[in-house]
Amino acid sequence: MVDKSYRFKIFLGSDGHGGSPVGITHPAFQIKRGDIFDKIRKDQWDWLDEEITKIKMDSPFTHGLYNGDLIEGDGAETRGITNLYPDRIDQCRVAAALINFIDAPINYISKGTPRHTGRVEDWEEAILPLLRSSNNKIQVVFEFDCNGVKINMKHKPPSRSDAALRKAFLANVLLNIRFKDRGACIANIILRSHVHKAIAVCLPGYRFLGIITPALQGIGDGFGARQLDNEPPDFGFVVLYINDINDFTYEFHIAPMDIQRRDIICL
Ligand SMILES: [Fe+2]
Ligand SMILES: [Fe+2]
């Protein structure tokens, strides 16, 4: 853990998919359905709780960044029957419980993938009135200036299906975005999410950092687990520490794979 006091200590999380059986779920919303996900959900929250408690021992977060897919949506492919909470307002309550738990005084939420967050309405907007903090905003793309450090945040990077290719590709994309607009630097820190797999590209000499965040949703049954032994998602979050243009860093907090494991059946 970064052992230094920074002017900005920012929680960065995404893809909590509130309402999904394997989305990050505050204990107040942990209902038991008697399947393997009961334990996975509890283990996910217990891990998060422990990590956040440690991180906040020195100082609280100054800001919270939530980079999209905060709710699971109507689950069109499964008619919503697999969701723990099918109703989108309930899903927003689950999402708000996470943000209230992290407890940053200022929160920015970028809008997620329409398949999850609404093709016509922006369902995630219903999260705002449920937050304890009064300084919150939701929009598609954010550009921040953090004491001279420019941050660009939106939910979705370009993606590819093959996992290894995607990681290499994302690294390239992050580097290219850095020099977009005829070589001008659009940001010192570029934040993307959506793919549920974490990667960071750091060019200290250029004062550049690109991050694809891990997800706050584990592997489920519906789709991911049935695929051809794809990489499992990275479950976790990021903390950004920023003082100024010469002094900023990040920290991944990724849960051990055990918490996404199924029951082992002894024959
Ligand atoms: Fe997602
Ligand atoms: Fe997404």
Q: Which ligand is nearest to the CA of 157?
A: 2
The residues facing 134 across adjacent strands are none
Neighbour tally for 128: CB within 10 Å: 16
The residues facing 253 across adjacent strands are 237
Residues, CB within 5 angstroms of ligand 2 (ion)? 69, 113, 194
Burial of 137 (0-12, 13-18, 19+ CB in 10 A): exposed
**What local confidence, expressed as pLDDT, does residue 28 receive?**
98
CA-based max dimension of the chain: 63
Cα 4 to averaged position of ligand 1 atoms, centre (Å): 32
Q: Which ligand is nearest to the CA of 110?
A: 2
Which range is least confidently modeled, 10-19, 64-73, 207-216? 207-216
**What local confidence, expressed as pLDDT, does residue 82 receive?**
82
Which range is least confidently modeled, 60-69, 168-177, 220-229? 220-229
pLDDT at 184 over 60: no
Q: Average pLDDT in the 36-56 region?
A: 95
The predicted-structure confidence for 70-94, as pLDDT tens digits, reads as follows 999 987 666 666 899 999 999 999 9
Cα 69 to averaged position of ligand 1 atoms, centre (Å): 5
Instruction: Categorize the per-residue pLDDT at 128 as very low, low, confident or very high, splitting at 50, 70 and 90.
Output: very high
What's the start-to-end Cα distance of the chain, in Å? 42
Residue with more model confidence, 144 or 117: 144
Cα 68 to averaged position of ligand 1 atoms, centre (Å): 7
pLDDT at 63 over 80: yes
Q: Mean pLDDT over all residues of the chain?
A: 87
**What local confidence, expressed as pLDDT, does residue 170 receive?**
66
Whole-number Å distance between alpha carbons of 111 and 243: 27
**What local confidence, expressed as pLDDT, does residue 88 receive?**
92
**Domains of the chain (ranges, CATH numbers):** 8-256 (3.60.21.10)
